[in-house]
Structure 1
Amino acid sequence: SRPFDLEHGPIFRVLLLRLDAQRHVLVGTVHHIASDGWSTGILLRELAELYSAHATRQPPRLEALPVQYADFAAWQRSWLRDDALEQQLSYWRQQLSGAPPFLELSTDRPRPPVQSNRGASFPVRLPPSVNERLLAFCQREGVTPFMALLAVWQLLLSRYSGQDDLSVGSPIAGRTRAETEGLIGFFV
């Protein structure tokens, strides 16, 4: 419930709770400006390695990083300017031209005049038999489960909305270079 102060920091907070002599809970909170989902996996793996090394009194086995996030940021800043920036913007303007401004779904309430970012999630668990058939289908067709499920989602939205043209966004890792795979930062 404490907001981050992006101007003065910190943008990463850690709290260690001692439950008893042998049990502790480490709570970490990081602002999304400094980290993404991929980074969380890296941070957890590195913390586990550091903890294990400390517990066994061995040196940690962390790989040296080929580049730092600052190197990536500097490269991206130098790349995304002038003609390259205009090419990227032009490409996406062309791809999204004519896209409907919103999805026309029948709902139980009218669309509010001003939209908010409030939302919800509804977790869905596939039964093991359905999951096995999905994985077999994906292997046969040479696609990932994400690709197949996204296509099904778009088909469902099209059917319910009656629209043939849909815009569906999804976050991506944004790590297009192998050197960035071990970095913690915001690449989305």
Structure 2
Amino acid sequence: FLTGMQRQFPLQEDDIVMVKTSFSFDASVWQLFWWSLSGASAYLLPPGWEKDPALIVKAIHQEKVTTAHFIPAMLNSFLDQAEMKALGDGTSLKRVFAGGEPLAPHVAARFASLLPQVSLIHGYGPTEATVDAAFYVLDPERDRDRLRIPIGKPVPGARLYVLDPHLAVQPCGVAGELYIAGAGVARGYLNRPALTEERFLEDPFYPGERMYKTGDLARWLPDGHVEF
């Protein structure tokens, strides 16, 4: 997963990743380790600061943070502070990842207005598929009229299937259940064999491999992205 992230969003030696997520949450994995693939750096936000958007903005400014992650609800609070501090006039930020819940179009539009030079990336993925299974890089012009922000395309090494109840592929534009396959799929649930059998199924398209049944509805869009 980390190698795939580095291919998609290459960090340089001067990048600084903000580590502010508890290691009980899977998003902490890339915050803790991604920087090491490129010789970049990590900044550990002091305990408790992750609950205060004003302190987060202060840390980004003082420590020259280039890469950060927010749950969309917290992202909106961060933007309140960014607006107050006029952060868009001279921020070190290059990219912000938003994940953990769906990103609302109005929050994405506000982000683009306040921080036009910063990339906003919408991530989707259950823990059962190793952090994120898909990313979508927002484009204010392209996404202006969307009712939902897509989850994008699968990360390197992952596959996304949109299937009907009989595990047949749904056509573009038709909703179905989202399945995740590829190298990141977990082995199952610890000491939960029945639940493992229910959610981790044989991959009908790649013999000998398995796929994870997410329980989420999705559809393919004509531009090749997946909409959650």
- TM > 0.5 fold call: no
The structure carrying a bigger helix percent of its residues is 1
Greater RCO, 1 or 2 (C-alpha within 8 Å, sep 6+): 1
Q: TM-score, normalised by structure 2?
A: 0.22
The structure carrying a bigger strand percent of its residues is 2
Q: TM-score, normalised by structure 1?
A: 0.25
